Chains A and B, each alone.
Chain A
Amino acid sequence: MRRTIRFTVNGDPVEVEVQPHWPLLRVLRDELELTGAKMGCGEGECGACTVLVDGKPINSCIYPVLEAEGKQVLTIEGLVSSENELHPIQQAFLDKAGVQCGFCTPGMIMSAKALLDMNPNPTEDEVRHALAGNFCRCTGYVQIVESVRHAAELLLKNAKQTGAGE
């Protein structure tokens, strides 16, 4: 019943043997040893497992792995640059104290990335709504929201500096 599927994870092509009913999260964590994406519920409710598939945030705990065939998967492990620099969103969570126990953090950061890719300068309300599917039980969300807004500033500053404007 096993099937081989191919997709890329954090830019690297992978080929894995999977059971067709497995969710992507299981393949990432159990097979590919990428434990950055967390499991908080396994039912699509908490967002701890959020990764980006072709740039869109998904709950990987309920995303069938077969759907990932040929797609680009980005996990928290893929955000650090090749020069080992933190992504500005990661840096912002560090600077603005968006991390407590840290179990929601990878999912939170991936959702924040999806938001900022679409909307580089979100209002506080937009940030809160973009993160509505990512539960955090430790914070009061205030410092998480501040982290994301700070990340937006850092990204805009970077964009200006490089002149790329992307």
Chain B
Amino acid sequence: MGEVRRHKRHSEGALHIGASTPRADAYAKVTGAEKFAADYYSSDMVWAGVKRGAAPHGVIKGIFTDEACKAPGVIAVLTHRDIRGSNRQGVVRKDQPVLADKKVRHCGDAVALVLAEDRETLLRALDLIRLDLEALPGVFDVEEALKDGAPLVHEDNAGGNTLLEAHIQTGDGLTAFERCDEVIEGRFETPWQEHAYLETEVGWAQQQNDGKVVIVASTQTPFRDRAEVAEAIGLDLEQVRVIAPYTGGAFGGKDGITVQTLLALAALHSNGRPVKMWWEREESFIAGTKRHPTRLYYRLGAKGDGVLHALAARLYFDTGPYDHLGGVVMTLALEHAGGAYRIPHALLDAWCVYTNNPIGGAFRAFGVTQVTAAMEQMMDMLAARLDMDPLELRLKNALTRGEKTCVGVTLTGSTGLVECLERVERHPLRTERYAWKAAAGPFKRRGVGIAALMHAAGYGTVVPDYANAKIELTPEGKIRIYCGVVDMGQGNASANAQIAGSILNQNMDSMELVLPDTDRTLPSGSASASRCTYTFGNALIGAAEILKNRILQKAADLLMAPSTDDLTLAPGKVVNRATGAQIPLSRLGRLMAESERTAISHFRAPVAKDRLDVTDELRLHGLGHAVISYGAHLAAVEVDEITGAVEVVSYLSATDCGRALNPQIYEQQIHGGICQGLGFALFEDFRVEQGTVKSPDLATYIIPTAPDTPNMESLPVELHEPTGPFGLKGVGEIATNGPAPAVANALADACGIRMFRLPMTPERVLLALRGRETR
């Protein structure tokens, strides 16, 4: 627990920025040695699991645990009555019980917690718990939920079933449509998307003799978890320690509490024995959060020459029974609703709505995926109406630095949408598209579609987006980085090594990483919002520079050099260029006091300076970002007219990432985002009927596999973001936004059909093709 990650078998040379260095974590992962939260076992370990309500809405009349308690091998059965704290958790609004008390509000609500000697006993005991639930009518549709008389998910919520609503008007709002030559309308539906990380929600916990509860969990947010756990179950902050190993995938689904509070509660009742909880795949699908389903009404108006003039949008987000991060997701979607285009007049309305469906939460790209799917199809529909090339229409309206988005945020950082579009425009997939399309075989249709993207990073205006980096020269002469932000697979821990290693001129073998641990590393916010390397990297640069100066100063003292001017760091040592004298880092590490060889630096990310005419509540939920990435995507698809299957044959992306610190990690992030976006576009159909999940496993919920995915090209557009570490902007999310609209536009290009509902399954495509024939 809390070990230090060392790195073996990397090349000898010092690390540097821009090099395609193999990831620091790859060795332990290819050998199977890396210990994920799922891999924590101990000899006297107790297994914990939860009984779920399994009903979408009902009053809890009784929870009968006697039989389960008496079963041999059962250590404890706990309910809300055993919780001493607030029994509430949530990031913005604490509206989710740890163990349901009065009601169940969706099928995944946890009602009782069982501790057992082994897994078989646990399953038997869960079966022995009886619930007396008085069924309540449920509410399963966002617009229905807002009507008078709809069943209330939270009777005490002042806004009825509205969690958060927002209205933004810029320019002349709706009246501007009177001055438009063309007006296009569309109503779009996007489904839930399940994270489907391969490592389901899992953790291990133990109460130490001094009363402190140590939790090792697959999480993106150890510091926030600690506070939530402590409050929910009635412990002091100091009594909780959260350790966050590398996760086996997270994508937003571990941005907040999953198993953590339940584990801590179990650890309080296991007589000091360690406890493990590992959600089954079906449990993860039912109880875990998902990308919010949305219904989006769009109206876009333009002048006859294609200059955009007005936008009206109504956005409905289904957050299920709990806020989780629903209000924040909706607000980020609102900020991106009009894309990276000059639109002088807009009226945008949005509602985030409580229902008895599964919980909506953070999922890579955080609401922007949904609105981009709509807006980028609107652009193509407009282009078709104007008989204009879709790329030309985008170039004509693309925002550049210094201009304002349609919600009034001024783009102050590097703004590379035009450059991204131009890269796509020059690519053979675009220039040779007519010939490629014409070569389609019998019963096949080919089409090429594009999408333009923007994605803001960080927490927005009010919640401080900061990081505290700590770095140390160890007595052994290694450079140890205390990573404050979780690496959920995106490679930021490795990027940290590369950043510090390049400043200190060390190779990977000299770098050690301490992964996030509330007792050892410093609070640095969540692993989310495309902020990890941007925010922590900036803090780390500061810390590494301080350490570098201290090391050189100490070396100068020891070598009796008049100043540090002639001294330079080399792998494992400091060298005096003038005299050739050397001193190993291990010697310096032993001679320096701990305070001297440890450096800390703080960074706080900039926010949009505009005084937007919006409510404080909306600002609190993040409206107004300063650091934004841009992209342009192209999908080339082949449609089978007989089966309706859509094959993405080639995929191209150009991304304004500021700077790619490590091109192979940059590529990983872009490819991964595209792949999840393709799943969202074509396959991933999370089905829920009356609150009950009908696609509870990986056999019924289809994610892309190797044969389903095309070759992808991911061109970096490196325009240098002045506020970024070495010019970087985060690109962990942006690529997810492209595939749905790019593929939909390609499908329209191929067959003249427009898909207003995702995913674009063969059945839906066939239906649309038939509709086209009968029209």
Contacts and interface: CB of A to CB of B under 8 A. Distances in A.
B23 A128 contact: no
B317 interface: no
A100 B30 contact: no
A140 B674 contact: yes
B36 A129 contact: no
Contacts of B39: 29, 35
Given A36-B33, A38-B38, A140 B247 contact: no
Interface in A38-53: 38-43, 45-46, 48
Given A97-B668, A101-B246, A103-B198, A141 B25 contact: no
B756 interface: no
A97 B23 CA distance: 7
Contacts of B199: 38, 40, 101, 103
A57 interface: no
Interface in A122-162: 125, 127-129, 131-145
A109 B30 contact: yes
B249 A137 contact: yes
A13 interface: no
A137 B706 contact: no
A75 B9 contact: no
A95 B22 contact: yes
B488 interface: yes
A140 B32 contact: no
Interface string B475-503: 00000000000001111000000000000
Contacts of B196: 135, 137
B198 A141 contact: no
A114 to B, nearest CB: 14
A127 B705 CA distance: 12
Given A77-B32, A97-B667, A38 B25 contact: no
A41 B34 CA distance: 19
B698 interface: yes
B22 A94 contact: yes
A90 interface: yes
A93 interface: yes
A24 interface: no
Nearest to A75: B32
A129 B251 CA distance: 26
Contacts of B34: 102
Most buried by B among A29, A90, A131, A136: A136
B248 interface: yes
Nearest to B489: A101
B665 A97 contact: yes
Interface residues of B, number: 60
Contacts of A27: none
A79 interface: yes
B587 interface: no
A33 B33 CA distance: 11
Given A35-B32, A38-B199, A103-B197, A140 B671 contact: yes
A75 B285 CA distance: 28
A93 B30 contact: yes
A141 B708 CA distance: 10
A97 B120 CA distance: 39
Contacts of B699: 43, 45
Nearest to A80: B31
B265 to A, nearest CB: 24
B560 to A, nearest CB: 43
Contacts of B491: 100
A142 B198 CA distance: 18
Contact of A40 (B31, B33, B198, B672): B198
Contacts of A138: 249, 489, 668, 672
A139 B30 contact: no
Interface in A72-107: 75-77, 79-80, 86, 90-91, 93-95, 97, 99-106
Interface string B109-146: 00000000000100000000000000000000000000
A114 B706 CA distance: 16
8 contacts: A35-B41, A45-B697, A75-B32, A103-B197, A103-B489, A135-B703, A141-B675, A141-B706
Interface of A: 19, 29-30, 33-43, 45-46, 48, 75-77, 79-80, 86, 90-91, 93-95, 97, 99-106, 109, 125, 127-129, 131-145
Given A35-B35, A36-B33, 12 more contacts: A43-B281, A76-B31, A94-B9, A97-B20, A97-B26, A102-B30, A103-B198, A133-B705, A135-B703, A136-B706, A137-B195, A138-B249
